[in-house]
Chain A
Amino acid sequence: MKKKVFALTMAAVMAAASLTGCGSKEAETQAAAQETSTAQAEGEATEAEETTEAAAEAEGGVLVMATNAEFEPWEYHDGDSIVGIDVEIAQAIADKLGMELQIEDMAFDAIIPSVVSGKADIGMAAISYDEDRAKSVSFSDNYAGSSLVLLVAEDSEIASADDLEGKLVGAQTGTTGELTATEMVGDSNVERYNSYFEAVQSLLTGKIDAIIIDGAPAKVFLSQNEGKIKQVGDALSNEEYAVVAALDNTELIEKINGAISELQESGEIDTIMNKYIPAE
């Protein structure tokens, strides 16, 4: 008899356990179902956005600009948007062409391949004219200029580009700064970073001896790291920046050239430049 009672209680306990088991599982399934429905709703929302975008394309056309937003003041992230000289000039050009500007942020060395393969219409990221680059993309007229400079640690003995021999020089992969560094100190003494801020971090901790970089972002890095790094020597070379587009897209380049010359005449480009690079 005792055994029977025990068996019955066990059965009851097990039944209860299995029920609660089912219960929690049901709850889970419900939660999962809810999640899926929210996910679906989100999916629909993005789809809806995409349709509006598609509609915009049908009206004025979308100008997709490839850039590398780690190059203050030319282009950088500010809050959740990408701003900078190139971005504002691109916006002004897009306005002139009656198109909607869409920015794609990517690695610098991915910009030209993106333009070549048609993933982006134009590339604007403080891109200097270069013969090798001109074989792959067409360049617009120059819209701004800058120069390459040398940054070193505050206590460094390097006084000019002549002292660079045998030193480790950092730069961002694929930039004219990197190409110049390769020419000056040889391939094995160049440290190629994914972005310039990483090169500056390495300069601060003494992993590298110098950085070759565009003058305007150099100023930003100098002001961010006052007393730790300094600029030395004369400008290494003059850089002229232009918009790049696919080789066969001559129509777009002509339109952009028109817009650039209008913006230069109206002084709009100077206004944008002065806003980001205060005159000395």
Chain B
Amino acid sequence: MWGNFSEQFYLNFIQDDRWKYFVNGLKVTLIITLFAVLLGVVIGLIVGVIRSTYEKTHKLKILNFLCSIYLTVIRGTPVVVQLMIIYYIIFANARNKIPIAILAFGINSGAYVAEIFRSGIMSIDQGQLEAGRSLGFNYRQTMWYIVMPQAFKNVLPALCNEFIALLKETSVSGYIALQDLTKAGDIVRSRTFSPFMPLMAVAAIYLVCVVILTQGVKILERRLRQSER
């Protein structure tokens, strides 16, 4: 068993520097996730604010309509299909795949983040808004100084969960010949024909990343709760 184990370990990681595939793959996965998260938050914040403004004041009707189309399309189709549409159709001539993947995952994540932000804004009591208005703030100021800080605190855990989900969703990047962590495992598997080690290694690396992120969320939640006392 152990003789076989070390032999398999050598074959899948040491021989021909195959561990480099995993390291480079992890790099690609993390880069895509990080920038897609940033893009997703920007898109999500804009869309979420537009949608909740419409619900509270019935202004921005056209923008709200466009946003709900965006949400329907993005949430109604699988991310891997969106990724391939962006890669093969929209940017048919582009060579640099990482920005394409960031764009695809960012746009996808933005739709989910928008709903998280909207629920956060809507969860703040109407009285807060009214109090702000009666103090002489206009709608925008009330939003920015009173509602958003409270809403942001409420949605942070949900937001972090979305990032964790996004990290795992990037595993479909291989569909556009991008060598992310999952594809790295596939390449090694196609060289060594032993599924166990590469798949377990890939799973373990994702797990470690997610555990680290989850721990971070926990610490963040504890910190945020301190101000409630």
Contacts and interface: CB of A to CB of B under 8 A. Distances in A.
Given A109-B186, A173-B187, A207-B93, A193 B194 contact: no
Given A205-B93, A207-B93, A174 B177 contact: no
Given A117-B195, A207-B95, A194 B190 contact: no
Interface string B152-196: 000000000000000000000011010100010011011111110
Contacts of A228: none
Given A173-B187, A192-B179, A201 B192 contact: no
B145 interface: no
A192 B93 contact: no
Interface residues of B, number: 19
Contacts of B189: 109, 113, 174
Contacts of A108: 190
A191 interface: yes
Contacts of A192: 177, 179, 183, 187
Given A109-B189, A117-B195, A198 B93 contact: no
Nearest to A112: B193
B97 to A, nearest CB: 8
B16 to A, nearest CB: 10
B86 to A, nearest CB: 13
A117 to B, nearest CB: 7
A136 interface: yes
A113 B193 contact: yes
Contact of A132 (B88, B177, B191): B191
Interface in A87-129: 108-109, 112-113, 116-117
B193 A136 contact: yes
Q: Which interface residue of B175, B177, B187, B191 has the most chain A CB atoms within 10 A?
A: B177
A168 B95 contact: yes
Nearest to A116: B193
A68 to B, nearest CB: 12
Nearest to A115: B193
A242 interface: no
16 contacts: A113-B193, A116-B193, A117-B195, A132-B193, A136-B192, A137-B193, A170-B177, A173-B183, A191-B177, A192-B177, A192-B183, A194-B174, A199-B177, A202-B177, A206-B93, A207-B95
In the A-B complex, the 3 residue pairs with the smallest Cβ-Cβ separation, listed nearest first, are A174-B190, A109-B190, A136-B193
